[in-house]
Structure 1
């Protein structure tokens, strides 16, 4: 299978732009394939150890200025190009682009601001559990080109896609899933319109016999989606794929099928997760899976860490890690799900997102203690006192400098028999390496202090 990438590199001067996990993966695959004229690497930082003395390294602030000296540039997802892509003479590719060019007919691609990792991992687990030949790749942390050799003609490829991977894509998956779009990554894109445009590449290059399952909250504009559109929603009338809370349970309805989610027998909590289950059910139904096989997989699925993850109990208080939460909506969903929350910890790096929706929800909710940390915590606190005189029960607001102070205060004030949840509604960058480290530090502070 690795020979499939040779047409892109044969006789070409090749540059890798970025040498993180994906850049290193691309390097090893291209080296193995061979046939290129040269293979060089450009990155802002100079690596501690260079894997190849033959390769030319371009590092430092001007590392992107050499791009047009090459025929082909493989760009890593997180790198922001300094010019519009059409201004470069070189061909700019990515791992994802090349992999999709090879296997797009077998790919189920999933994107969204929140929930995409849950949908990706749940779909993979249920397909695998049902005995299907399947693999999981992409933004979930598994570089695609590393696994080209494992793809067989019947393999179903479940592929998580970030906005950065989609930004310059010219090919879309056979089945696309757009879970939702919320305000996010504006520090990278500058405008919401550019961020939305990146996400919409999940469907813009689909064909007429392809499928898009899309949340009704972010439907494509008329005429922009060439594939079959399946509208999905929670308690939304007129949807093709409906998730509805009814007196006798939560039901998924799709193409004449009705399926009641066994909420008391699964580990995924909350309405947002029931929507994710609904979307996965839709894909499984399209692939011909029966309800028994779907239920068997759903019941054995273990949720990903840091996504409203129950950590345990200490001194009668139940602690939950929702460190994945970097926007208002996910914190609101966490508090709607954990109805016994006595204390919530909010705050992190400030990327300038609008916190009005969260402030208005916090004013009305029954949470007794709202601990506000870091730059966004301070900003929320100041905005409430300046612009929201009607905010209910302001003494609930507690300022804390960092997570350590916030946890110490939470452990003092949270009432036994209730829950305490870390759901920051903000990024972790500049404070922690990533949201995973933030969640791990929270658990350590709670149980090992």
Structure 2
């Protein structure tokens, strides 16, 4: 049963409230809490100069700012704390604040608690954004007033007063957002799980447990959509609180989403032929099947079909950039894990020149070497993980005698120029890093846009 948002308004009014992080997504939240009568203090590691005009704007609104390296030292003076998703709940400053009676929460937690509309939540190691966007497009095509947010789009908590019970909301939820969650959406989707974000999570077990929060607090009437082909995800079936429906690209199912005779099915209804799907790659077939499962009771087959045959994808996901001298360039900057890169490689019909490497999330690259070598013509490595990735391919050469040509470079620009130099007419060059971007770029979007700029200037 959803809570009435008026309860939150009464609760927050006059409360000493801390918001940790003054990033773009938290700025609307800070203004929103202020409009509800909270006494807001905003915290950030950046200095006033680094924040620029937003710091000036907030000071003019009488929002206190706590900035700089030691910015969390006085968190224990607050009654309510909105933490940034990647901040661990066992952070010593949060632990101390909780001991002093602070209510610690996040924007997403409060949104799910009070949102009047039906929520479809999507998580997984790969495919979250595409699956979320597919669900959103199908619901919208059916005629529902539909909202999209979470890890993508605008912060929705600030728009909660505009939402109605008949609306639909689709959320992409990361393990960081889910880690402290004690509330679950009515429809929960887990696309797949493989090692990821082990730079933040203590171990794989903690990462998997965070993902489980997407369904852990569901009710008996709620729905959980699980990947039948992923062993970790499939093992969650007995833990479901409500109904379970599964999807598979490898086997026929009695019900759910599956592939049969080169067609996509939901239950026993054919949605479309695989050759009609605009998005290439079996991973995208799985994203569509997951989406069909989540909304099969809310839309018609025709709406599913229309989106499947027309949807051309989300930016930075196997995105075609341009052809130069008969060589095709693709931007797959979203691929921040080996499994996501593998999925991208499998979408191409021939081995590619792969540009990879980046920030180290403490995850292994052996699977990229063992399962990806046949899809790679030449491997161009950059960033903090380039030596680590090279070691996995060296191991493949030493143990199995399989050699993939490797070139080491110092920058993305060097990588693109080297790829251009090595490419023959008809080749494919793809940026699919298998790593996060933080060693060189603020996020994967900036990395992808930088790649596109370099390619467009060739």
Structure 1 residues 301-327: Cα deviation after superposition (integer angstroms, max 9, x where no partner): 231111001112110111111111111
1:396 counterpart (382, 400, 405): 405
1:297 counterpart (307, 328, 352): 307
Structure 1 residues 168-187: Cα deviation after superposition (integer angstroms, max 9, x where no partner): 11110011111111211111
Structure 1 residues 234-256: Cα deviation after superposition (integer angstroms, max 9, x where no partner): 2135574242253xx233242x3
Cα 1:300–1:146 change in 2 (3 A) is farther
Distance in 2, matches of 1:184 and 1:252, equals: 30
Counterpart of 2:291? 280
Q: CA deviation at 1:331?
A: 1.5
1:137 is paired with a residue whose SS is: strand
1:137-152 residue pairs with structure 2 within 5 A? 137-152=149-164
Cα 1:239–1:369 change in 2 (3 A) is farther
Distance in 1, matches of 2:175 and 2:84, equals: 12
Distance in 2, matches of 1:161 and 1:398, equals: 36
Counterpart of 2:321? 311
Query: In the alignment, is residue 447 of structure 1 matched against residue 444 of structure 2?
Result: no
2:204 counterpart (192, 196, 218): 192
Counterpart of 1:228? 243
The more displaced of 114-123 and 12-21 is 12-21
Cα 1:67–1:362 change in 2 (3 A) is same
Is the contact made by 1:372 and 1:400 (CA closer than 8 Å) also made in structure 2? yes
Cα 1:179–1:386 change in 2 (3 A) is closer
Cα 1:84–1:355 change in 2 (3 A) is farther
Structure 1 residues 394-417: Cα deviation after superposition (integer angstroms, max 9, x where no partner): 262222222222211211122212
Counterpart of 1:58? 66
Distance in 1, matches of 2:363 and 2:398, equals: 21
Counterpart of 1:422? 431
Root-mean-square deviation (Å): 2.3
Q: TM-score, length-normalised on structure 2? A: 0.89
Query: In the alignment, is residue 39 of structure 1 matched against residue 43 of structure 2?
Result: no
Counterpart of 2:370? 360
Distance in 1, matches of 2:396 and 2:301, equals: 51
Structure 1 residues 103-132: Cα deviation after superposition (integer angstroms, max 9, x where no partner): 266111111121111111111112112212
2:352 is paired with a residue whose SS is: strand
Counterpart of 1:269? 280
Cα 1:210–1:104 change in 2 (3 A) is farther
Counterpart of 1:128? 140
1:353 is paired with a residue whose SS is: coil
Distance in 1, matches of 2:384 and 2:210, equals: 28
Structure 1 residues 248-272: Cα deviation after superposition (integer angstroms, max 9, x where no partner): x233242x333334533x4311100
Distance in 2, matches of 1:312 and 1:26, equals: 39
Cα 1:371–1:204 change in 2 (3 A) is same
Q: CA deviation at 1:93?
A: 1.4
1:109 counterpart (121, 129, 138): 121
Q: CA deviation at 1:283?
A: 2.4
Distance in 1, matches of 2:404 and 2:108, equals: 50
Distance in 2, matches of 1:85 and 1:66, equals: 10
Distance in 1, matches of 2:365 and 2:201, equals: 19
Query: In the alignment, is residue 93 of structure 1 matched against residue 105 of structure 2?
Result: yes
Counterpart of 2:21? 18
Counterpart of 1:68? 76
Counterpart of 1:259? 271
Cα 1:84–1:273 change in 2 (3 A) is farther
Q: TM-score, length-normalised on structure 1? A: 0.91
Is the contact made by 2:359 and 2:435 (CA closer than 8 Å) also made in structure 1? yes
1:438 counterpart (434, 447, 450): 447
Cα 1:157–1:418 change in 2 (3 A) is same
Structure 2 unaligned segments of length 5 or more: list them: none
Cα 1:55–1:375 change in 2 (3 A) is closer
Distance in 1, matches of 2:238 and 2:402, equals: 48
